[in-house]
């Protein structure tokens, strides 16, 4: 604990405090100046009344500062609560986004499979058409057998008739 001597309105005070001497001396100067200002604003104001009014003004300032601090604390609490809600909403949105990305990937895979099936079906249809067309080209035409002309008639031995 520190012993500090300060002077206020010409009177010396000895104080015991945990605060430093420079802090207490600065504080005493502010009080001395405030009382002097109060006394100079009213010519007939006794020093004791000026000290009381200065104390009242100081407590008024302190109360307003505390009210302001409480208001700021309240706002900070609201901001923290809002931030927590926003974080929770963000987390839900991230999960929803992940689920949607997975769904998109699954749908893209499904589409690729359907396209592959369609390509295979189309190729099979083309192959079947080609095979059918080749079979048609290899079949003898009506009234013709073995690719020989109709003047030959219905030759069963495959030898020309005389």
- pLDDT tens sequence for the chain (162 residues): 999 999 999 999 999 999 999 999 999 999 999 999 999 998 889 999 999 999 999 999 999 999 999 999 999 999 999 999 999 999 999 999 999 999 999 999 999 999 999 999 999 998 888 887 777 777 665 554 544 444 444 445 555 554
Same domain flag for 95 and 38: no
The H-or-E segment that residue 142 falls in is: none
For residue 125, tell me if it sits in a domain. Answer: yes
Length of the chain: 162
User: What is d(CA 21, CA 15) in angstroms, rounded to the nearest whole number?
Assistant: 10
Same domain flag for 30 and 66: no
Please tell me whether residue 13 adopts helix, strand or coil conformation.
strand
User: What is d(CA 66, CA 38) in angstroms, rounded to the nearest whole number?
Assistant: 24
For residue 149, tell me if it sits in a domain. Answer: no
Domain of residue 12: give its range.
1-42
Reported as half-sphere exposure (CB side, CA atoms, 13 A), residue 53 has a value of 15
φ and ψ at 14, to 5 degrees? Answer: -100, 125
Same domain flag for 38 and 52: no
Same domain flag for 58 and 15: no
For residue 16, tell me if it sits in a domain. Answer: yes
Domain CATH for 22: 3.30.160
């Amino acid at each position: 604990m520190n012993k500090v001597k300060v002077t206020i309105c010409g009177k010396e005070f000895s104080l015991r405090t945990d605060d430093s001497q420079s802090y207490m001396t600065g504080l005493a100067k502010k009080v001395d100046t405030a009382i002097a200002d109060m006394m100079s604003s009213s010519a007939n104001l006794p020093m004791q009344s000026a000290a009381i009014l200065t104390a009242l003004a100081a407590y008024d300032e302190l109360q307003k500062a505390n009210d302001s601090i409480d208001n700021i604390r309240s706002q900070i609490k609201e901001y923290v609560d809002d931030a927590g809600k926003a974080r929770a909403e963000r987390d839900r949105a991230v999960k929803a986004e992940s689920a949607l990305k997975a769904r998109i990937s699954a749908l893209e895979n499904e589409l690729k499979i359907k396209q592959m099936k369609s390509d295979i079906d189309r190729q099979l249809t083309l192959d079947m058409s080609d095979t059918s067309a080749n079979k048609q080209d290899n079949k003898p035409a009506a009234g013709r057998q073995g690719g020989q002309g109709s003047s030959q008639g219905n030759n069963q031995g495959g030898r020309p008739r005389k």
